[in-house]
Structure formats: structure tokens, C-alpha cells
Amino acid sequence: MTATGATWRNWARTESVRPLRVERPASVGAVQRAVLAAEASGLRIKPVGSGHSFTGIAVAPGVQLDLADLSGVVDAEVATGRVTLGAGTPLHELPRLLAPYGLALPNMGDIDRQTIAGATSTGTHGTGLGFGGLATQIVAAKLVTGTGELLTVSETERAELLPAVRLGLGALGVLVELTLQLVPRFVLHAVEEPEPLEAVLEGWNDRVRAADHFEFYWFPHTQTALTKTNTRLPGDASRKPLGRVSRWVDDELLANGLYRGICALATVAPGVTPFFARQVDKLTGDRDFADFSPAVFTTHRTVRFREMEYAVPLAAVPDAFREVRSLIERKGWRVSFPIEVRVAASDDNWLSTAYGRETGYIAVHRYFREDSSEYFGAVEAIMRAHDGRPHWGKMHTQTAETLSGLYPHLEDFVRVRDELDPGRRFANAYLERVLGA
Ligand SMILES: Cc1cc2nc3c(=O)[nH]c(=O)nc-3n(C[C@H](O)[C@H](O)[C@H](O)COP(=O)(O)OP(=O)(O)OC[C@H]3O[C@@H](n4cnc5c(N)ncnc54)[C@H](O)[C@@H]3O)c2cc1C
């Protein structure tokens, strides 16, 4: 199906574009034809997922591909836990799709709105030192290259390309199928509680190693960290889900509704932020519940924000965090959104933010109507001094030149790009900035 492009905007409203054409292929052959047609007319082409990247990584001024019709389970091997999904499958459909097989993703991020191809292509991650980002679960991929060929990359076919293709920034081809190594469905026991921030920072190393999934939020202008500790239990463990009312009060009213009020008010009267931050601080926390993993890992985010997230070596987190806290105090900024701190295992995907090192993530947010440039710029300088790597889907200002020292395989990745997309059919301004022309 082809349509003329209406204006596309990403979730955070940081990017917009009016593609010349939008195509919605319903088969692998149709994706190949779309790439060849783009080549014939000298246009660039780019698949878009759910538009949840804050950067311009998904911007497609030429042909935009919507893969909503390449979605769902293509193949499932219950014995090995390997499932092949259409690349456009949204994560929020996985619990329903995987229920017949009793399988689940081993880890997830904060939301489930992304597509599987979009999430893995930017290095989306959750938290937990025993777990890599979502892309580490990919054991095979099928993609249409820049010359329209269908390429299979797996442990037995072109295996040397796997560390590039698993997390390819959308630069190597149009992924049409991804095979993931999943785990038996499991229950998570969640404990969320406010704790003194300094104690959390001092115990950082032990806390992240003791828990399956540990993270914390800090609301600037308070002394409190809201910690979240999730423990994995078998799939038949008893569940104590959050009641619908409790989930609504906590997630909608506090995490979203109350924020909306604070953020809107703070844009006209910034002085109110510390007062409201302390109220949020008093109201949130102290939850103890257990449910199937997707319901615990993910929440709904209805207040729009902008985000920058940096991956630093795990041990650098307390120092880097304290520097950000001092910065906010020194500058007297009124910051209404919390800072989120998470962890991940080291992995071997060439462009993974956790490549080759145990990693801590520090994420800063700002209400989408506020100017985030000064705050994010100053935090970015701190992160860079700690060898930080920016999340590919979140705001940052780095370039191919500044990134090359951070990724030992950046040149290898560009070599794979030269092979799979010699004409730069999948390029856009963001990829030119971070990978070069
Ligand atoms: C509210 C919110 C919460 C978030 N929480 C987290 C979090 O907890 N952890 C985290 O790490 N990140 C998080 N993110 C970031 C988000 O996970 C990533 O930006 C992710 O890439 C978005 O997926 P998407 O489907 O929207 O992809 P898009 O943003 O639409 O696209 C991302 C990239 O994937 C490429 N792509 C999409 N489909 C294909 C395909 N079939 N073949 C090849 N390339 C393809 C696009 O071309 C583009 O380059 C969050 C973002 C938001 C807005």
C-alpha cells in the first residue's frame, strides 16, 4: 500500500518530517520492491517503528516504510524458547502473542510501545546486572539490504555480521524478521520504596549485585531516592497484582497526571518546582506487588518529555550522579522530572552502549515544552568525562568523530554498512552525524 506522506512526528515532538511517500508493505517481497523502487528513483528509504526515539534516527524524508503488517509470530520453537517475530511487532502485543508458548522477554525497559525492530536497533534496555539490552536476545535476523537482497544472519549464516545486525541503528537494512531467545514466562516480585539518596549511592555496588533488577529515581530538590527492586520468581508463583485503582493512582495520577500539572505550572512559575518535587517525594513509593514480568517492568507514560541517557562504566555511577546533583544545585535550575539510574550486563554487540563493560545508565528528563539544551548540555559534559556513551535513541550531540574513541568496533560497523548499504539508501541526517556519510 502506498500513500502520500502526511506529517510524521515522534512521540517527544522533537522531530517531524513530511515523507515524499509512505509505504506499508505486507510481505518481504513488497519490502524488497520498495527498496528497489526507491533506488530506481534515487530516494532514500527508512522503516519507522513507533516513533519513540527522541533523536532524529527514524526521520525519513524520502520513503517512509511502515511495517505494521509485518507483525506477529512467524515461527516458535517451544523446546528451545526461540521465537521468530515480524519486525514490526509492538512489544505490548508480546504477552498475548507469547502466551500460547509460555514464553517471555527476559528483561524490558520502562514502556512497551516500541516495535521489536525499533527497540533493538537503538539499544533499548531495562535494568539488571545479569541482563543485556533487548538486542542481546537476537539469535537470527532477516533483512533487506540497500540493494534489495534478502539476507539471513544467524549463528550458522554470515554469523560474523550478528554483532552489527543485532543493533544496527537502522543503517544496515530493513529488518523483516527477528528470532529471539526467550525465557519461560516468569513472575516478578516488586518492592518500591523511598530511601535516603546518599545511602543508596554509598551502597551502589552491593545493591546492583544483590538484586535481579535494581534501579532508582531521584527527584531533584529532594534527599530521597525511590528504589525499585524486582526479584524473579517462577511462572507459577502466586501473584499479587496492583489493583486497577492502585495502578491508576500511582501510574496515572502521580507519575503522569500530577507531573502534568507540575510541569505545566513550572514552565510559567519555575520557583514552584522544588515544593512540588517534595510533595511527589512524599506521595510516591512503598509498593509491594507481584505479577507477570511485562506488567511489572513497564508502565504507561502519558506526559511528554525529552530525555538524554548516558551509559557509563558501572563503578562511575555514584561520582557521575553526584556531579549532576551538584550541577543542578549550583545552577539553581528547577527540574521537575526525576533522574533515572539503571544497570546492564556487558555485551558484545558492536554499537551497544554496554559493549565490553558492565554499565550504569543515568537518564535526565525535561518536560517537552521546556528548553532542555542547557541542562542536557551540561550533564552531557559530565557523562563524557566519565567515558559515557549516549543512548542512540535519546538526545545527545555526539558525532562520528567523538564516538569513534568510545566504540572499538565503529570502523568494523561502517565496513558492514559499506557492504550492506553501499549507496546509503538508509541514511538520514542523524546517521550521517553519528556514522559519517
Ligand atoms: C516514553 C519513552 C520511554 C522509553 N523508555 C526506554 C527504556 O526504558 N529503555 C530504553 O533503552 N529506551 C527507552 N526509550 C527509547 C526507545 O526504546 C527507543 O528510542 C526505541 O528505538 C523506540 O522504538 P520505536 O519502535 O519507536 O522505533 P523508532 O524510534 O520509530 O525507530 C528507531 C530506529 O529503528 C529503526 N527501525 C525501525 N524498524 C526497523 C526495521 N524494521 N528495520 C531496521 N530498522 C528499523 C528506525 O529506522 C530507527 O533508526 C523510551 C522512549 C520513550 C518515548
Residue 212 CA: distances (Å) to CA of 229, 286, 301, 391: 8, 19, 24, 22
- 161 pLDDT band, cuts 50/70/90, is very high
Query: Which residue's CA is minimally distant from atom 52 of ligand 1?
Result: 52
Average pLDDT value for the chain: 92
Residue 316 CA: distances (Å) to CA of 23, 305, 320, 362, 365: 45, 26, 6, 11, 20
Query: Which residue's CA is minimally distant from atom 34 of ligand 1?
Result: 118
Contact status, residue 277 vs residue 219, Cβ threshold 8 Å: yes
Contact status, residue 229 vs residue 285, Cβ threshold 8 Å: no
Q: Which long-range contacts (CB under 8 A, 24 or more apart) does 72-80 make?
A: 72/97, 73/97, 73/98, 74/177, 75/179, 76/101, 76/103, 78/102, 78/103, 80/181
Distance from Cα 92 to the centre of ligand 1, integer Å: 13
Ligand 1 contact, 63 CB (< 6 A):
no
Mutation choice for ligand 1 from 13, 22, 32, 52, CB with most ligand atoms inside 8 A: 52
Please, which residues have CB within 8 angstroms of residue 252's CB and are 6 or more apart in sequence?
A: 300, 302
pLDDT attached to residue 246:
60
pLDDT attached to residue 255:
59
- Nearest atom of ligand 1 to the alpha carbon of 133: 11
Mutation choice for ligand 1 from 48, 340, 389, CB with most ligand atoms inside 8 A: 48
Ligand 1 contact, 117 CB (< 6 A):
yes
Distance from Cα 121 to the centre of ligand 1, integer Å: 7
Distance from Cα 64 to the centre of ligand 1, integer Å: 15
* Cell numbers at 339, concatenated: 533522574
Ligand 1 contact, 47 CB (< 6 A):
yes
Q: Specify the DSSP class assigned to residue 115.
A: B
pLDDT attached to residue 262:
59
Q: Which residue has the higher pLDDT, 259 or 345?
A: 345
pLDDT attached to residue 235:
97
Left (φ > 0), alpha (ψ -120 to 50) or beta: where does 128 sit? Answer: left
Distance from Cα 8 to the centre of ligand 1, integer Å: 15
Round to whole Å and give the CA distance between 137 and 103. Answer: 13
Q: What is the mean pLDDT of residues 156-170?
A: 98
Ligand 1 contact, 393 CB (< 6 A):
yes
Ligand 1 contact, 89 CB (< 6 A):
no
Distance from Cα 50 to the centre of ligand 1, integer Å: 7
Query: Which residue's CA is minimally distant from atom 7 of ligand 1?
Result: 109
Share of the chain above pLDDT 70, in %: 89
Distance from Cα 114 to the centre of ligand 1, integer Å: 6
Residues 87-143: pLDDT tens digits? 999 999 999 999 999 999 999 999 999 999 999 999 999 999 999 999 999 999 999
- 5 pLDDT band, cuts 50/70/90, is low
Is pLDDT of 1 > 70? no
Residues 84-98: pLDDT tens digits? 999 999 999 999 999
Share of the chain above pLDDT 90, in %: 83
- The predicted model scores a pTM of 0.94
Round to whole Å and give the CA distance between 113 and 103. Answer: 19
Is pLDDT of 11 > 60? yes
Residues 232-291: pLDDT tens digits? 999 999 999 987 656 655 565 555 555 555 555 656 566 666 665 556 555 555 789 999
Round to whole Å and give the CA distance between 51 and 423. Answer: 25
pLDDT attached to residue 300:
83
